[in-house]
Structure 1
Amino acid sequence: MKMAGIDSSRIDAMVAQLKATAAKMEAGSGINRTEESDAPKRIDFADALKASLDQVNKVQLTSQQLGEKFALGDDKVSLSDVMISMQKANISFQTTVQVRNKLITAYHDIMNMQI
C-alpha cells in the first residue's frame, strides 16, 4: 500500500502566493518604513484585516456584475466565467467566516484565562 506524500510544490506555491499578497498589501497601504532601511516593515492588524475584507468585497462585486451581465445577455460573458467567479466569491467569503470564527474563539479563550 503506497501512501501519498505531501506535495511540497503546492505548499511552496501557496507560500509564494501569501508573500505576494502581503507585499501587494504593504505597497497599497502606504505603510512607511522607519528611518533604518534594514528594519522590516510593520503591518497593523487592523489594516491587514481591512485589506482582506476589501478584497473579499471586490470579488463579491465582480461576481455579481458578471452574473448581471450574463443575465442581460452580454455575449462577452460566458457561463463558465460567471460560475468560476461565483465560486471564487463563495470561497473567499467562507474563508472570511472561518477567520472570524477563529478570532472569536481566540478572544473567548483569552477572556476566560485565569490571571
Structure 2
Amino acid sequence: MSDSMRVDQILSQIRSIRQEATGRMPGVAEKIGENQAGSSVSNTSFSEMLTDSVKAVSETQKSAASLAESFERGDKNISLAEVMVASQKANVSFTAMVEVRNKMIDAYQEVMRMSV
C-alpha cells in the first residue's frame, strides 16, 4: 500500500471521527439514558453529568498521550495511524467540551442581564 493511500485512509478516519463527535460530548448520551426513539430519562443531576463528561474527555486525552508515548518508545504493536486517530479523538472531545463551556457561560451571562 502506498504512503498516499495510507494518508488518505487516515484522513478519512479522522474526518469520520470528527463528524461523529461534532455537537456531542463523549458519554453524555449514554449517561442520560437516551433510547432509540430519542426520548431521555434522567436520574442524574446536571453536575454529575458534567463531571462525568469532563472525566471522559480527560480519559480520552490520557489514552492518546499513552499511545503516543508507547509509539515514541518504539512499541511495534502501535501504528502511527492509531496514535493520530486517538490524538484527533482527544482534540475533538476537548474542543466540544470548550464549546459547551462557552455556551454555558453565555447562558449564565444572559440570565444575569435579565431584569426581574
TM-score for both structures, normalised by structure 1: 0.67
**Cα deviation 1:21-75 (Å, max 9, x = unaligned):** 4574368xxxxxxxxxxxx543200000001001000000000000000000000
Of structures 1 and 2, the larger Rg is shown by 1
**Distance (Å, rounded) in 1 between the aligned partners of 2:86 and 2:95:** 14
Alpha-carbon distance change, 70 to 97 in structure 1, aligned in 2, over 3 angstroms: same
SS in 2 for 1:100: helix
The answer to whether structure 1 residue 54 and structure 2 residue 60 are counterparts is: no
Q: Which residue of 2 aligns with 1:6?
A: none
Moved over 3 A (4+): 21-24
**Distance (Å, rounded) in 2 between the aligned partners of 1:49 and 1:87:** 22
Q: Which residue of 1 aligns with 2:37?
A: none
Which ranges of structure 1 fall in alignment gaps of 5 or more residues?
A: 1-13, 28-39
- 2:60, 2:89 within 8 Å by CA — same for their partners in 1? yes
Paired letter, 1:46: S
The answer to whether structure 1 residue 77 and structure 2 residue 67 are counterparts is: no
Alpha-carbon distance change, 99 to 22 in structure 1, aligned in 2, over 3 angstroms: closer
Residues paired across the two proteins, number: 85
- 2:57, 2:90 within 8 Å by CA — same for their partners in 1? yes
Which ranges of structure 2 fall in alignment gaps of 5 or more residues?
A: 1-19, 34-40
Alpha-carbon distance change, 71 to 92 in structure 1, aligned in 2, over 3 angstroms: same
SS in 1 for 2:43: coil
Q: Which residue of 1 aligns with 2:31?
A: 25
TM-score for both structures, normalised by structure 2: 0.67
